Chain A
Amino acid sequence: GTSKRIKVLTRLTLVVSDPSHCNILRSTSANIRLFDIIAVFPKTEKLFHIACTTLDVDLVCINVTEKLPFYFRRPPVNMAIDRGIYFELLYTPAIKDSTMRRYTVSNALSLMQICKGKNIVISSAAERPLELRGPYDVANLGLLFGLSESEAKAAVSTNCRATILHGETRKSACGIVYTVKKPRKVEEEETTLPAFKKAKTQA
């Protein structure tokens, strides 16, 4: 049957360990606009607070490879949920190594206790193609992280879609005005045509 093409998006992850690193996000430089999704990886409690409350990002990455140096508190997490920012958990370190698995599960569970399973996105940090897992399996991993079944399924599907849309609103003026780069992206019917049909209509 028809298989839709895979859309490859670009993403920028900023590892911030100092408040001065965040300045790059405030200045509306042209480089930031090139990326579809912007994620930030805060290393300290203060930066986590800043990221959840004021920074213009789509994802806040949660460290899974070592013990968290700070505890999550409820006010910044609730503010992030209201602003539409999602928390990202990685699962490939858990597959590779058993000490990482312990840190992953404990950090994920402590996050769950504060945010009650809302606004979670599970992604892999795979370096090789064999480290990827199918969506059903990733949703099952969400169960291990303390999510309920419906939340785990949402973490793989609807939350990811919402993150992409959140990234798109940054390109337009709060999602009201869209700038069209290529005519292909405007209509959704065109992207669902299979490749050979598309070639025929364009030829």
Chain B
Amino acid sequence: MVRFKNRYVLCEVVSEDPRCRQCIEDRAVGLAVRDAIGRVHGDYGLACCSISFTVKYLNAYTGTVLLRCRKDSYRLLCSALPFVRQLESRNQRYPCALNTLHVGGTIRTCQKFLIQYNRRQLLRLLQNCTNEEERRCVQKSLLSCSLTEEQSQSGDEEDDGSPE
């Protein structure tokens, strides 16, 4: 069957500055990644990767980004991600780093991975909870983590209770 095969790369934006969260938007991240590919792989690499390149999903609260590219050029994209050093938007620059979590062939596999990953992060947050109130909130979100098929279709990838 002739069909375009894509690769979805799930990454996380790591930064020290809390104001960087507001700066995380799809256009800024897309530009930063394209710029890094251009610096590392040159014009050829940039052209190869930008055939079907988009930012599919973005969560500013947790810093999760889902990128899409063609299967033939995902290696160029993945090897250029460590070279992203800053995000720029509205004339503000924040130093940051991208941490690759998972590469999958479909959005569904990346979603499943993200749910497991967030569950583990919640458990870790639970250990570091200082307040009883926070502890109860986190425990409630942990217990509501198990999804059924219908719920997962509604695009609910974040289960830590934060609004999308």
Q: Taking beta carbons and an 8 Å cutoff, which residues of A are in contact with B? A: 1, 3, 91, 94-95, 98, 101, 129-134, 136-138, 140-141, 143-144, 194, 196
Q: A133-B97, A134-B100 are in contact. Are A144 and B79 (CB under 8 A)?
A: yes
Q: Taking beta carbons and an 8 Å cutoff, which residues of B are in contact with A? A: 14-16, 39-40, 75, 78-79, 81-83, 85, 95-101, 120, 123-124, 127
Asked if A95 and B79 sit within 8 Å, CB to CB, the answer is no
Q: Across the interface, which residues of B come within 8 angstroms of A3, CB to CB?
A: 124, 127
Asked if A140 and B97 sit within 8 Å, CB to CB, the answer is no
Asked if A137 and B120 sit within 8 Å, CB to CB, the answer is no
Q: A137-B100, A194-B127 are in contact. Are A130 and B79 (CB under 8 A)?
A: no
How many whole Å from A129's CB to the nearest CB in chain B?
A: 7
Asked if A130 and B97 sit within 8 Å, CB to CB, the answer is yes
Q: A129-B16, A130-B96, A133-B99 are in contact. Are A95 and B123 (CB under 8 A)?
A: no
Asked if B15 and A140 sit within 8 Å, CB to CB, the answer is no
Task: State the CA gap A196–B129 with chains docked (Å).
Answer: 13
Q: Which residue of B lies closest to A92 (CB)?
A: B82
Asked if B79 and A140 sit within 8 Å, CB to CB, the answer is yes
Asked if B82 and A140 sit within 8 Å, CB to CB, the answer is yes
Asked if B101 and A136 sit within 8 Å, CB to CB, the answer is yes
Q: A130-B97, A194-B127 are in contact. Are A137 and B14 (CB under 8 A)?
A: no
Task: State the CA gap A107–B99 with chains docked (Å).
Answer: 26
